[in-house]
Structure 1
Amino acid sequence: MSFPSIDEQLNVIKRGTVEIVPEEDLVEKLKKSKKENRPLRIKLGCDPTRPDLHLGHSVILRKLRQFQDLGHHVILIIGDFTALIGDPTGQNKTRPSLTEEEIKENARTYLDQAGKILDGKKTEIVYNSEWLGDMKFQDVILLTSKMTVARMIERDDFSKRYKNNESISLHEFLYPLAQGQDSVHLKSDVELGGTDQKFNLLVGRDLQRDAGQDPQVCLMMPLLVGTDGSQKMSKSYDNYIGIDEPANDMYGKALSIPDELMYSYYELVTDISTDELETIKKRIEEDPRNTKHDLAFTVTRMYHGEEAAKAARKYFEQTVINKDIPDDAPELTFEAGSTHRLLDIIAEANLTSSNGEAKRMMKQGGVSLDDEKIKSPGHEITFKEGDELALKVGKRKFAKLKAV
C-alpha cells in the first residue's frame, strides 16, 4: 500500500497529542515503514473494568483510528488478565478485584462501543490472558528482576501512597511489568496511552530493549476534562458523556460544558479538520452559543446519525428554550381522588435508575411539577378530576400526569 508523506502523517498523529517519547524515533519508524511498505504495529491496551465508554475514552480510540486511516496495523488489547490485577494508575488505594465473569461481560460491551470508532475490519483484537496466563512462576520472577523497587517507587501514584503510609500491595507492582510484557509479546512499534500512563508505557520500552527489540514509541494523549470543567471525565464524577447514551442526553450534556473547553472538545472528540480548527477558535470567541450547539450536533451525529442529531436539537429547543413537554414523553393516568407518592410515580415512569437517585435529585432541586420544584422525598399528589401535570426530572426527562 502507499502511505502518505511523513509530514502528512505527523500532522495527523500530533493533533491533540501531549507528548511523544521519543519523537525522533517515531519519525525514523515512519520513514522505515514507508520505505519498506510495511505498516507499523500500533498498540492500545484497555482493561475492561467498566462496561460503558464515554467521550474521554474516545480521545485515545480516535487517535488509534487515525493510525488505521494512515494505513498502519492497529492492535487493541483487551486486558482480561491485567484487569485481574487492577491498574494502580491514579489510585490512592488498591483497586478491588473483578471476577472473570464481570471482565468478560465488560469486554463484550466495550468492544461493541469501541466499534463505533474503530474500523473493525482493520482491528486486530487480542486478549492478554493468552500469553500472560501461560507464564510460570519462574517467568514472573525473571520479569520482576528487570525492575527495581526504587524505580517503582518513583512512580507518582506509589510515591504518594508510600509517603502517606497508605498500603501498596505487591501485586500492584506487577501491573506495569505485565503491560510492558504485552509490548514485548506483540512487538509493538507504538503504544498509545493517556498522560497518566507514561510510566507504564516507558516500562514497555525497557522490556523490549532488554528482549533485543526496537523499543516502542510512547504517545500520550490528554485526559479529557468532564462537563463540570474541572475533573477528568469519569462516571465516578458524574461529569461524563457516554458514547452509547441516548441522543437527547448526549446533545444536552454537550451543551453543558464550559465555553473554555469547547476548543479541546472540537480538537479531541470530533472529525473537524485541522484547518477548520482555527476558524472554530474565532467562532468560539464571537458566537459561543451557536458554536456550542454545533459541537453538540456534531458529537451526536457521530454516534447516532444525522436524523437523530436533528431530532435532539429540536427536542432541546422544545423542552429547554420553549419549556414544552416533548411529544414522546410518557403519559401516566391516575384515578381522580387518589393519592400517590411522587417517588413512586417517578419510578413508574422510569425517570431515574433508583429511588436513591430520585431522592438525591429532589434535594438538589432537579424535580419539578408544573415548574414548581419539589424537594421533599415524602411529597404526595392527590389528583383532582381534570388535572394535567407536567413532571420534569433532571434537565431532559419528562412525563405527563393526568387524572381520569
Structure 2
Amino acid sequence: MKNFPPIDEQIARLRRGTVDFVDEKELRKKLERSEKTGRPLRVKYGIDPSSPDIHLGHTVPLRRLREFQELGHTAVVIWGTATAMVGDPTGRDKTRPQLARDQVEANLETYKTQIGKVLDVERIEHRRNSEWFDEMGFMGAVELLSRMTVARAIERDSFEKRMKAGLPVSLHEIIYPLLQGWDSVAIEADVELGGSDQLFNLLVGRDFQQQEGQEPQVCMTTPIIEGLDGEKKMSKSLGNSIGVADAAVDMFGKVMSLPDALMEKYFLLLTEVPEAEVVQLLAAHPRETKVRLGKELVSWLHDPTAADEAAAEFDRVFKDRALPTDIAEVTLPVDVLREGTVLVATAVARAGLAASGGEARRAMPSGGVKIDGEPVTDIKAALSPGRYLCQVGKRKFAYVTVLAPQ
C-alpha cells in the first residue's frame, strides 16, 4: 500500500501561494480516503499548446502540480489538442486566434520538453483532449452545450467588459469553459489546478462531474504573476516574460530588471526559499535581494554553476560597463539595401535583436536602440555599408556587418 505524508503536512504545504481553495474540507476527505486505500489522487492540469514556449507565469500552477507528485499523487496533464484550436478567452480583451492541429502538435512537443524543468515527466499521465472531443460528434456537442445557460456562460468579467465596449464575443469562445469542464469528467479528476483567472472554468468541471454522478473535484487556483513591466500579466506577446528556455544570462538579466514590488511574489511562488527567510531578504538592499532571486531561478531552470556565471557576467556588463563576451556576428546581404543603405530598424530585426522591424521602431524614440553606443531615436535612420555594434535594450547585442554592392 502506498504511503503518503501526514494529511496536515500535505495541506499545509499546498496552502502556500493558493488563492482559491474549493474547498479544503473536501480535499481533506479525499486525502483521508487515499491514506486508507493507498489510491493516489488524480490531479489535473490542462495546457493549451497555443505558442511554442512557456514562461515563468505558466510554471506557478506547474510547481503546485509537482508538489502533488512529491506528495505521492498522480499528475494528469491534459494537452489541449482540441481546446487550443478553440482558444481560451480567459482574460482576453479580444478573440484569441484559432490554431490548426499541426501548429498545436508542433507546440506540444516543445512544451513537453520545457515542463520537464518543473515536473517529473516520467510520472505524468499524458492525455490529449482530442481523444474524447474528436469522437463526440455534432449531436454530442449539442448535448454538452445544453448543460449551461447563455446567462451563466457570459457571466465572466472578460465577456462583460468586451460587450460593454462594443467588442465582439464569438460563440466558440463562450463554449470553452464547457470543454475544459468536460475534461474533468473524462479523466475523473479529484483535483484541478489553474490560475486564479481560471476559477470559473474549474467550477464548471465540478458541476459536470456532479451531473455525471462523479464526486466533484477540488478546485485550487494560484496567483497570476505580473511580467517585467510590473503591471500586466506575464505574456510573451507583451514582451514582458521570462522564458523557461531563456539562456541563463538573459534570465538573470531579466530578473535584475524586475520592479522591486514584485520580488516577494516571485520568491513565494517560484522558489523554495522559506517565508521567514524571504522576509529577511526583502529587508536587505533591493539589488542584493534580486541577485539572490536571480540565482535561485537560474539554478532551478539551469544549474547553480550557470547561476554564478550569469551573475558574474551581469556585473561585468552592467556594473563594470563592459561588453558581453559572446556578442554574435551577423552579416546582412546586399539585397537588404535600399538606395545603398538599410534602415536601422531593419538591421536590428534581421540581427535577431528585435522580433520585427515594427518592434525595433517602437523602441527607438525612447533610446532603446543604440548603434556603436549612441541612441538612435529617428525611426528613419539608416546604415551605410560597414560594421556596427547594435544594441537593443540593456541585454541584446550584435555586431552587424552591412555588405556593400560589388
* TM-score, length basis structure 2: 0.90
Q: Residue by residue, what CA displacement relative to the aligned partner does 1:373-400 show, whole Å, maximum 9, x if unpaired?
A: 222344456799xxx9754332112345
C-alpha distance 383-171 of structure 1, shift in aligned 2 (>3 A): closer
Q: Which residue of 1 aligns with 2:284?
A: 286
Distance 2:267 2:241 in 1: 16
Q: Taking every aligned residue pair, what percent have the same amino acid on both sides?
A: 46
| Letter matched to residue 364 of structure 1 | S
Structure 1 residue 222 displacement after superposition: 0.7
Q: Residue by residue, what CA displacement relative to the aligned partner does 1:340-399 show, whole Å, maximum 9, x if unpaired?
A: 765565456543343333333322212234532222344456799xxx975433211234
Contact 1:227 1:253 in 2 (8 A): yes
Distance 1:153 1:367 in 2: 44
Q: Matches of residues 211-250 of structure 1 in structure 2 within 5 Å?
A: 211-250=212-251
Q: Matches of residues 138-157 of structure 1 in structure 2 within 5 Å?
A: 138-157=139-158
C-alpha distance 36-399 of structure 1, shift in aligned 2 (>3 A): same
Asked if 1:393 corresponds to 2:392, the answer is yes
| Letter matched to residue 199 of structure 1 | F
Distance 1:148 1:382 in 2: 63
Distance 2:331 2:129 in 1: 54
Distance 1:333 1:235 in 2: 27
C-alpha distance 341-183 of structure 1, shift in aligned 2 (>3 A): closer
| Letter matched to residue 326 of structure 1 | P
Q: Say which SS state the counterpart of residue 51 (structure 1) adopts.
A: coil
Contact 2:227 2:234 in 1 (8 A): yes
Contact 2:256 2:294 in 1 (8 A): yes
| Letter matched to residue 65 of structure 1 | R
Q: Which residue of 1 aligns with 2:337?
A: none
Among 325, 333, 338, the residue aligned to 1:327: 325
Structure 1 residue 81 displacement after superposition: 0.7
Asked if 1:305 corresponds to 2:303, the answer is yes
Q: Which residue of 1 aligns with 2:272?
A: 271
Q: Which residue of 2 aligns with 1:119?
A: 120
Structure 1 residue 311 displacement after superposition: 1.7
Distance 1:43 1:300 in 2: 27
Asked if 1:98 corresponds to 2:102, the answer is no
Question: Number of aligned pairs?
Answer: 394
C-alpha distance 123-152 of structure 1, shift in aligned 2 (>3 A): same
| Letter matched to residue 13 of structure 1 | L
Q: Which residue of 2 aligns with 1:4?
A: 5
Q: Matches of residues 51-130 of structure 1 in structure 2 within 5 Å?
A: 51-130=52-131
Q: Which residue of 2 aligns with 1:362?
A: 364
Aligned Cα RMSD in Å?
2.5
Q: Residue by residue, what CA displacement relative to the aligned partner does 1:195-229 show, whole Å, maximum 9, x if unpaired?
A: 11111111110110011000000001110111111
Q: Residue by residue, what CA displacement relative to the aligned partner does 1:164-195 show, whole Å, maximum 9, x if unpaired?
A: 44433222232111111110110000000111
Q: Which residue of 2 aligns with 1:50?
A: 51
| Letter matched to residue 319 of structure 2 | I
Moved more, 283-292 or 358-367: 358-367
Distance 1:61 1:361 in 2: 33
Moved more, 129-138 or 37-46: 129-138
Q: Say which SS state the counterpart of residue 286 (structure 1) adopts.
A: coil
* TM-score, length basis structure 1: 0.90
C-alpha distance 72-363 of structure 1, shift in aligned 2 (>3 A): same
Q: Residue by residue, what CA displacement relative to the aligned partner does 1:133-173 show, whole Å, maximum 9, x if unpaired?
A: 10132322222222122222322233333444443322223
C-alpha distance 330-153 of structure 1, shift in aligned 2 (>3 A): closer
Q: Which residue of 1 aligns with 2:188?
A: 187
| Letter matched to residue 292 of structure 1 | K
Contact 1:75 1:123 in 2 (8 A): yes
Q: Which residue of 1 aligns with 2:335?
A: none
Structure 1 residue 313 displacement after superposition: 0.9
Contact 2:154 2:174 in 1 (8 A): no
Contact 1:152 1:158 in 2 (8 A): no
| Letter matched to residue 54 of structure 1 | H
Q: Residue by residue, what CA displacement relative to the aligned partner does 1:281-332 show, whole Å, maximum 9, x if unpaired?
A: 1221222211111101111121121222222111111111111112222357
Q: Is there any run of 5+ residues in structure 1 with no aligned partner, and where?
A: none
Contact 1:68 1:74 in 2 (8 A): yes
Structure 1 residue 14 displacement after superposition: 1.0
Structure 1 residue 98 displacement after superposition: 1.0
Distance 2:355 2:146 in 1: 48
Q: Is there any run of 5+ residues in structure 2 with no aligned partner, and where?
A: 333-339
Contact 2:345 2:358 in 1 (8 A): no
